[in-house]
Amino acid sequence: MGKRLKMQRQGKASPAFMKPKRTFKADVRYRPKPVEAKAVGEVIEFIDDPGHSAPLMKIKYEDGAENILLAPEGIKIGDKIQEGKTAEITLGSIMPLGNIPEGMPVYDIEVNPGDGGKLVRAAGSYATIRAHTDQGVSILLPSNKDVDLDPNCRAEIGAVAGGGIYAQPLMKAGRSFYIYHAINQRWPKNRGVKSNPVDHPFGGKQHHKGYSSMTSRHAPPGAKVGHIAARRVGRKKRG
């Protein structure tokens, strides 16, 4: 009968390919209900979470509520942060994009109002407010891509702390395994053409696939490799 292919076993999500939830210390999200006026909180603790490349900070608000957020570069224990539409523009303040002036660096940006923050969360990263338009707020992402978002989407002022993590040399390949393991990713990732025929659809072909890698979006897990539902492949013809 044989064995399942590697991507089939990963897609099944057995314990061998899953990261236990207990290894993640916090779910980093903004508070679900946006603050209409202004709320003030104090940084009381920093948290080193293996599931995040950046350090986390625990915030205690004046009403006694607590929350855990990504720490910005330069903040320290005892600093005050503000949240709301009328909040002052200080390091770590959480504000709607429509209230943040142009040119300001921001991170942990919501894609839809109230989703808790989805964009620009890696260590050392930040986005820039480009312009306020009729379509929304134009933001330049770290990938140099422009996106227009709802002015009510929240973001945090500053840049994500921990940018120096990428400057630290790995020294040996074994460290990469543990870095990827902490965020539930498998390493190393070998090319399919280097695999055996029983392990990958592209395996056993002597350095090349031997046929087109175009794959249907509705292909089964064992065959869903290569260019999945690609609009086009190959070199563009020059006019």
Per-residue pLDDT tens over the stretch 189-211: 888 888 888 888 888 877 888 88
Question: Can you say whether the dihedral through the CA atoms of 53, 54, 55, 58 is positive or negative?
Answer: negative
Question: Model-level pTM?
Answer: 0.76
Q: So what's the pLDDT on residue 202?
A: 87
Residue with tokens 């625990």: 58
Domains of the chain: 6-17+184-228 (4.10.950.10), 23-165 (2.30.30.30)
Query: What pLDDT digit, counting tens, does each position of 12-63 carry?
Result: 667 777 777 777 888 899 988 877 778 899 999 999 988 888 999 999 998 8
Taking CA atoms, 126 is separated from 51, 64, 73, 141, 155, in Å, by: 19, 30, 10, 7, 11
Query: What pLDDT digit, counting tens, does each position of 83-97 carry?
Result: 988 888 999 999 999
Rounded distance between C-alpha atoms, residue 103 and residue 98, angstroms: 13
Rounded (10°) CA dihedral 183, 185, 187, 191: -150
Rounded distance between C-alpha atoms, residue 163 and residue 220, angstroms: 40
Q: What are the φ and ψ backbone dihedral angles of 55, each rounded to 5 degrees?
A: -70, 155
* Among the ranges given (51-65, 76-90, 174-188), the one the predictor scored with the smallest mean pLDDT: 174-188
Strands, DSSP E only, in the chain?
A: 39-47, 56-61, 66-70, 80-83, 94-96, 105-107, 127-133, 136-140, 146-149, 154-157, 214-215, 227-228
User: How do beta strands 154-157 and 146-149 pair?
Assistant: unpaired
Residue 163 has pLDDT above 80, yes or no: yes
Residue with tokens 């929240």: 154
Residue with tokens 């563009």: 236
Q: Are 173 and 4 in contact (CB under 8 A)?
A: no
Residue 1 has pLDDT above 50, yes or no: no
Six-digit token pair at 229? 């539902």
CB atoms within 10 A of CB 104: 16
